[in-house]
Amino acid sequence: MHYGCSIYGLDVLANRPIPTVPHSTITTADVRVSFGALPQWFALLEPHEIETIYITDYGDDCGKPALIFSRLRGGKFYRFSYADETEFVVDQTGREIWTTWPAPLTLEDNATYLLGPVMGFVLLLRGLVCLHASSVVIDGQAIALIGPAGAGKSTTAAAFVTRGFSILAEDVVTLDDRGDSFFVRPAYPCIRLWPASAASLFGSRSALPPLTPNWDKRYLDLRQHSGRFETESRPLAAIFLLSERRDDPRAPLVEAMERAEALLSLIANTYATKLMDKQMRAREFELLSSLLTKVPVMRVTPHANPDRISELCDSILLHV
């Protein structure tokens, strides 16, 4: 049995249903995913066929790196090896993905990697640069919310959902260059939230179901709330950089950014940035430079009080 779906504008065919992703019938696939198996040749790899490209400088409680990323067989394949022993192998064209994981991890745990860093890298292989961001549709156009981990991208996107707005993408926001404008492709109908954000927006920590049995994050199903999931690509109208929260009477505050500062902020928030080779990096710089001539980038300073997130949404709406 195979299950088809659309993610980031790509038709994906998998041997098991991908959690949080609606499935449909497709006749051809851009990407094939094999859950529970690695390529037959993987177990026969020689040491000289493995070239380590990137090792995270943070790890688990035992000091094992969170991720080791390698090039295999002279660049014909790439490997994601996570500290929890989840493995992904991706071919150089971004058309085939194989993955395994140990018990007690589940398919839901695996999907958090697949839908984020792995698919982000697949998009890079296929020529697309992506932002680590959330995207909301406002008046038929997309906005992107970027910022470092913990900045509140997902929480802000979920706050827009409570006001009836549509979500286009979560975590991975594609920058689809169409010449005179950039479009964002639809991702999947889910926002991942920490329990504190679920409690703040929906009344209690348990108001939303757990994303996986082994992780404390919650799962906002966009097919079951007042907002909805946008299934068509939308033009990118603006990018908002969420900065550090401040106990400032002027906050939430939206300010324009100088071009050089905006470019550095975009580079810092591109997806899979540590995994890029020189060619990918050059393409990224060219594309982001072009993006800044077409799309404004603004800094947003949220208020330190999380109860004022509705005011944050209002401030963003005034600048779209």
Of 125, 153, 177, the position where a domain reaches its end is: 125
Residue 155 shares a structural domain with residue 120: no
Residue 136 shares a structural domain with residue 11: no
Number of C-beta neighbours around residue 299 at 10 A: 17
Q: What is the pLDDT of residue 201?
A: 92
**Would the pTM count as exceeding 0.85?**
yes
Domain housing 53: 3-125
Question: Residue 293 pLDDT more than 90?
Answer: yes
Task: Give the mean pLDDT of 256-270.
Answer: 94
Residue 162 shares a structural domain with residue 81: no
Question: Residue 239 pLDDT more than 90?
Answer: yes
The runs of H, that is alpha helices, within the chain are 107-113, 119-125, 153-162, 195-202, 259-268, 278-291, 309-317
Q: What is the pLDDT of residue 80?
A: 97
Domain count along the chain: 2
pLDDT band at 141 (very low <50, low <70, confident <90, very high): very high
Are the CB atoms for 133 and 265 separated by under 8 Å? no
Question: Residue 25 pLDDT more than 90?
Answer: no
Residue 120 shares a structural domain with residue 133: no
Percentage helix, strand, coil for the chain under 3-state DSSP, each rounded to 5: 25, 35, 35
Of 107, 125, 143, the position where a domain reaches its end is: 125
Spatial separation of the C-alpha atoms in residues 319 and 296, rounded to whole Å: 10
Q: What percent of the chain has pLDDT over 90?
A: 78
Question: Residue 213 pLDDT more than 60?
Answer: yes
Q: What is the pLDDT of residue 286?
A: 94
Of 58, 93, 125, the position where a domain reaches its end is: 125
The enclosing domain of 209 has a CATH number of 3.40.50.300
Residue 137 shares a structural domain with residue 90: no
pLDDT band at 295 (very low <50, low <70, confident <90, very high): very high
DSSP bridge pairs for 187:
none
Helix or strand holding residue 290 (H, E):
helix 278-291
Which residues, other chains included, contact 260 with Cβ-Cβ below 8 Å and sequence gap of 6+? none
Residue 228 shares a structural domain with residue 90: no
Are the CB atoms for 265 and 297 separated by under 8 Å? yes
Residue 58 shares a structural domain with residue 185: no
Residue 79 shares a structural domain with residue 180: no
Spatial separation of the C-alpha atoms in residues 68 and 2, rounded to whole Å: 30
Residue 236 shares a structural domain with residue 283: yes
DSSP bridge pairs for 78:
71, 90
pLDDT band at 1 (very low <50, low <70, confident <90, very high): confident
